[in-house]
A and B are shown apart, each in its own frame.
Chain A
Amino acid sequence: MAQEIDVSLVNVTKKFGDLVAVDNVSFDVPKGSFFSLLGPSGSGKTTILRMIAGFEVPTSGDIYIGGQRVNDVPPNKRPCNMVFQRLALFPMMNVLDNVMYGLRRRGGMSKKEMERLANDALARVGLAGLGKRRIHQLSGGQQQRVALARSLVLDPTVLLLDEPLASLDLKLRQAMKLELKRLQERLGTTFIYITHDQTVAIAMSDTIAVINKGRIEQIASPEELYRRPATHFVASFVGENNILTEGRLVRQVDDQVGEVEMGGILMQGRIGEPMKPGDKVDLFVRPEMILLQPGKHSPGILGKVSEINFDGSHSLIVVDLLESQRPLSINVKVQHTEQAPEVHVGDVVTLSWNWGAGNIFHHVPLQEA
């Protein structure tokens, strides 16, 4: 069965003068999915969202919503609503009037009916009974919900969210994160969600598009993104990673696995992009996928524990490699379980990992990465 597509961008480019803010971007957002745009500051996320909402016109390329080309449709006629980065609630109105605003513009409904719908929407986001409050009498998290209710009450085909959690403190952000996800699943509305925080994107999304300097680096599920990053940028941006730079590809074990020489030590990883032996490469290794054993073992990489950062359920252990020709260290994340080995600073340990824990890409100088 072909999936129904709600939003589709085809070769969309946006230039501001000489600056190419969005560079030939294409993607499809399936109906009812939670789609995230993940990228660092200034990568063009907001610009993409504003083009979907209709506040910016693409320099070239086409945008489709529900199968219809909307390039020439003004924002007030598009079947999508936006939750703004700074919320943009109307301070001159109370909460209920804010939520009713879109219904009033649409018309064709009695005031009673509108109030009922608005109160329903408020109840849905957990703000029942706060309709008479002024906006400034609400906490940050409550304002957040009002902004959501104000858009949701219109039952949009697509809801666009521009980093709506960025202004909240950590705890509230965690809570809202889960709530948003649940809400989306319950309503079945298509969400396009912008964030520069990869933990948020990974926790909530069905699909993530990683964007860098206006270009899409990879579109994949969170798991895929995490396990098989497509580019050097994705590997360094998504999730925690050890990055060992300026090694050399020794050989390709098979079409997936490569062997890399780092400071005289041989290590394995997945080959992330086409390359040949002798190429200068960087190796990424997930800290939680490394096996740490006290003492000397073989095969394995010998190291000495130089630092232990205790973090409740985990410890982050920094290991300096003993046999490398240049100073190299690797972070290992160890979960505290019954069987977890106890190590101390100064202990000699052996590190090893399956090739799938590593990812090999061509070397990229630091300032360009």
Chain B
Amino acid sequence: MLARLKRTGALWLLLLPMLLWIGLLFVLPHIKLFLLSFQDRYTGAFTLKNYATFFTSPLYRGVFIHTVEYSILTTLVTLAIAFPAAFVVTKVLSERAKALVVIAIILPYWVSELIQAFTWMVIFRETGILSYTLRALGITRHNIEFLYHNWTVMVGLVYTSLLFMVIPILNSLETLDDSLIEASYDLGGDFWSTMKEIIIPHSMPGIMVGSIMVFMLVLGNYVTVTLLGGKNSLWFTENIYNQFIVRFNQNQGAAFSVILLTFSVLFVWALLKITKQDLSEAM
């Protein structure tokens, strides 16, 4: 049946809705964005000015570098939390406990990122739960503002990203035959050598997929970053927002968007190259 579908090209028909979806909502707008980024704001003539603004302004460059640094850091922190959790869930817990933990991980995602961020605000703000608790315990004498710090933003970002890291790693660990772990012990391995030589190499595709997804999501995050970081968040997406919405400078905003997109694509590509992972294999 599949052979016939292939021959008649009917298989393409099945792909059509998705191709349309991607075409209309992703490719077309990005072409438009790309064109806009090379146009003068007033005359519409071809110009590299929008890109020059970025590369000559220490401010924009600084924000960009800060964003990339923190995205990498957030990804690493998320990985550091997600991997042990996924390992325990797949290799240690009983079936029942496993289901409970997975639900506990998924549950927060039933509410939107916006609500999640508000929850963090309730905890972190000057009159919030954390500040109140510290004061009630006598650890501090005054209310403390926990919001608008880099680390607060990171807590929120890690939280919203966790699921996207855990699920692919869970999947890759599920396929790891327990007898491989036992064989490693049998041959004299201990916990760390087994981790390093057997478990991590086996789950590398899952780690890569998770890291790529989280990195992209964090790099392009807006909601959590602005709500928890406020004006000081120094996130590059805020610059893009400002150009489009506050300054009505579509062309500058488009240039920033293209820079961000190009960078993340190149970054991921380089990462896969360095770690010798194949994207088709990793996905």
Q: Known: A92-B202, A154-B188. Is A84-B193 also a contact (CB below 8 A)?
A: no
Bound form: Cα–Cα A268–B35 in Å: 101
Q: Does B177 contact A (CB under 8 A)?
A: yes
Q: Does B201 contact A (CB under 8 A)?
A: yes
Bound form: Cα–Cα A90–B196 in Å: 13
Kindly supply a per-residue 1/0 record for chain B positions 154-196, scoring 1 wherever the CB is within 8 Å of any chain A CB and 0 otherwise: 0000000000000000000000010110111111111001000
Bound form: Cα–Cα A106–B189 in Å: 8
Considering the complex, which residues of chain A in the window 264-301 have a beta carbon less than 8 Å from any beta carbon of chain B?
none
Q: Known: A53-B186, A150-B187. Is A105-B193 also a contact (CB below 8 A)?
A: yes
Whether A84 contacts B188 by the Cβ 8 Å rule is no
Whether B197 contacts A101 by the Cβ 8 Å rule is yes
Whether A84 contacts B198 by the Cβ 8 Å rule is no
Whether A88 contacts B198 by the Cβ 8 Å rule is no
Kindly supply a per-residue 1/0 record for chain B positions 11-41, scoring 1 wherever the CB is within 8 Å of any chain A CB and 0 otherwise: 0000000000000000000000000000000
Name which residue of chain A comes closest to B188, CB basis. A105
Q: Known: A84-B179, A86-B179, A88-B179. Is A101-B201 also a contact (CB below 8 A)?
A: no
Q: Does A212 contact B (CB under 8 A)?
A: no
Q: Does A27 contact B (CB under 8 A)?
A: no
Among A76, A90, A102, A106, point to the contact of B198 (Cβ < 8 A): A90
Q: Which of B186, B193, B201, B202 has the most CB of A within 10 A?
A: B186
Whether B188 contacts A88 by the Cβ 8 Å rule is no
Whether A154 contacts B187 by the Cβ 8 Å rule is yes
Which residues of chain A have C-beta atoms less than 8 A from B190's C-beta? Answer: 76, 105
In the assembled complex, the CB of B161 is this many whole angstroms from the nearest CB of chain A, namely 27
Which residues of chain B have C-beta atoms less than 8 A from A238's C-beta? Answer: none
Whether A90 contacts B186 by the Cβ 8 Å rule is no
Whether B177 contacts A76 by the Cβ 8 Å rule is no
Whether A75 contacts B185 by the Cβ 8 Å rule is yes
Whether A102 contacts B188 by the Cβ 8 Å rule is yes
Which residues of chain B have C-beta atoms less than 8 A from A106's C-beta? Answer: 188
Q: Known: A84-B179, A86-B177, A86-B179. Is A92-B187 also a contact (CB below 8 A)?
A: no
Q: Does A82 contact B (CB under 8 A)?
A: yes
Kindly supply a per-residue 1/0 record for chain A positions 32-53, scoring 1 wherever the CB is within 8 Å of any chain B CB and 0 otherwise: 0000000000000000000001
In the assembled complex, the CB of A114 is this many whole angstroms from the nearest CB of chain B, namely 13
In the assembled complex, the CB of A158 is this many whole angstroms from the nearest CB of chain B, namely 12
In the assembled complex, the CB of A115 is this many whole angstroms from the nearest CB of chain B, namely 16
Whether A75 contacts B182 by the Cβ 8 Å rule is yes
Bound form: Cα–Cα A161–B121 in Å: 59
Considering the complex, which residues of chain A in the window 61-106 have a beta carbon less than 8 Å from any beta carbon of chain B?
74-76, 81-82, 84-86, 88-93, 101-102, 105-106
Name which residue of chain A comes closest to B198, CB basis. A90
Whether B201 contacts A92 by the Cβ 8 Å rule is yes
Whether B185 contacts A88 by the Cβ 8 Å rule is no
Whether A75 contacts B186 by the Cβ 8 Å rule is yes
Q: Does A55 contact B (CB under 8 A)?
A: yes
In the assembled complex, the CB of A106 is this many whole angstroms from the nearest CB of chain B, namely 5
Bound form: Cα–Cα A82–B197 in Å: 19
Which residues of chain B have C-beta atoms less than 8 A from A92's C-beta? Answer: 198, 201-202
Residues of B within 8 A of A (CB): 177, 179-180, 182-190, 193, 197-198, 201-202
Give the top 6 A-B pairs by smallest Cβ distance, nearest first.
A102-B187, A105-B188, A88-B183, A88-B179, A92-B201, A75-B185
**Beyond the given A76-B189, A81-B187, A102-B187, could you list 10 further A-B residue pairs with CB under 8 A, ordered by the A residue number?**
A55-B186, A75-B182, A75-B186, A76-B185, A76-B186, A76-B190, A90-B197, A92-B201, A101-B184, A105-B188
